């Protein structure tokens, strides 16, 4: 079964809908560099609508350690997700399990960076280029998804209800991560798109 992480939620009704539909993880974008940014206090209120056994993830991007500590104190997420130039040492320094996003925008050269995060609980391969932001709806060549890494891999970037089954068939990820593909505008999730996306993932037979 392919796990599903819905990212960039900003509204309580979207959190409820995504988890009712069966999302396995919910991501809150904490970095102020994003259009989907939520304040730590607001993210904590959204977190309170997440039922047990659904993972909460706080996304940061080259943010100050003091801000990340504040996020951990106020939101108490299950995991951190790093989207910038943070090293494995930095990502590991908070005592919380972490995911590292790898920008796959330039294709094969990005694969070398996958080896730089031995302590990551998982690696999120995203479609944007190095130095660009995630959540942009850009996909990458799914056939580049490595099959020989010990860590679980999350596939992200430009996934929609229409293409996610093919993406899973080609990339065979542990999980898929979606943001703009289930939105009507940045940070505003669309109930129908969420339902169609999650149904499309669930309809893919297990490998
Ligand atoms: O979502 C943002 O605005 C954002 C800003 C800065 C860094 C990362 C950001 N989002 C990360 C994600 O939500 C993932 O990259 C997402 O799974 C892929 O996004 P999309 O291509 O829109 O599905």
Residue 203 has pLDDT above 90, yes or no: yes
Secondary structure of residue 25 in the 3-state scheme: strand
Residue 207 has pLDDT above 80, yes or no: no
Residue 72 has pLDDT above 80, yes or no: yes
Q: What is the pLDDT of residues 31-57, one digit of tens each?
A: 999 999 999 999 999 999 999 999 999
Q: Is domain 3-202 in CATH 3.40.50.300, yes or no?
A: no
181 lines ligand 1 (CB under 6 A): yes
φ and ψ at residue 60, rounded to 5 degrees: -130, 160
Average per-residue pLDDT for the chain: 95
- Residue identifier of the C-alpha nearest atom 12 of ligand 1: 135
Rounded Cα–Cα distance for residues 108 and 194 (Å): 31
φ and ψ at residue 185, rounded to 5 degrees: -155, 165
pLDDT of residue 108: 79
Q: Of the listed 14, 24, 63, 126, which one is catalytic?
A: 126
What is the pLDDT averaged over residues 130-145?
Answer: 87
Q: Annotated catalytic, 6?
A: no
pLDDT of residue 130: 75
Rounded Cα–Cα distance for residues 17 and 6 (Å): 11
- 198: region left, alpha or beta (phi > 0 left; psi from -120 to 50 alpha): alpha
Residue 91 has pLDDT above 90, yes or no: yes
CB 82 within 8 A of CB 60: yes
φ and ψ at residue 32, rounded to 5 degrees: -70, -5
The ipTM assigned to this model is 0.96
What is the pLDDT averaged over residues 74-93?
Answer: 97
Q: Cα of 156 to ligand 1 centre, how many Å? A: 8
Model confidence band, residue 121 (pLDDT cutoffs 50, 70, 90): very high
Q: Annotated catalytic, 177?
A: no
> By percentage, how much of the chain surpasses pLDDT 70?
100
């Amino acid at each position: 079964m392919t796990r599903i992480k819905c990212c960039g939620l900003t509204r309580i009704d979207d959190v409820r809908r995504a988890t009712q539909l069966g999302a396995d993880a919910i991501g809150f974008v904490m970095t102020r560099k994003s259009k989907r940014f939520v304040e730590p206090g607001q993210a904590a209120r959204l977190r309170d609508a997440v039922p047990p056994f659904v993972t909460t993830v706080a996304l940061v991007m080259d943010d100050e350690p003091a801000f990340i500590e504040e996020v951990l104190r106020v939101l108490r997420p299950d995991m951190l997700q790093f989207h910038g130039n943070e090293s494995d040492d930095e990502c590991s320094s908070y005592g919380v399990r972490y995911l590292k996003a790898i920008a796959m925008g330039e294709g094969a050269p990005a694969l070398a960076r996958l080896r730089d995060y031995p302590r990551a609980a998982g690696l999120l391969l995203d479609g944007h280029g190095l130095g660009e932001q995630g959540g942009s709806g850009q996909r990458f060549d799914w056939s580049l998804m490595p099959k020989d890494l010990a860590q679980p891999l999350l596939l992200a970037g430009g996934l929609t209800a229409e293409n996610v089954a093919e993406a899973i068939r080609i990339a065979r990820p542990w999980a898929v991560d979606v943001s703009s593909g289930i939105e009507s505008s940045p940070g505003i999730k669309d109930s129908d798109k969420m339902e169609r996306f999650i149904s499309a993932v669930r309809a893919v037979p297990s490998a």
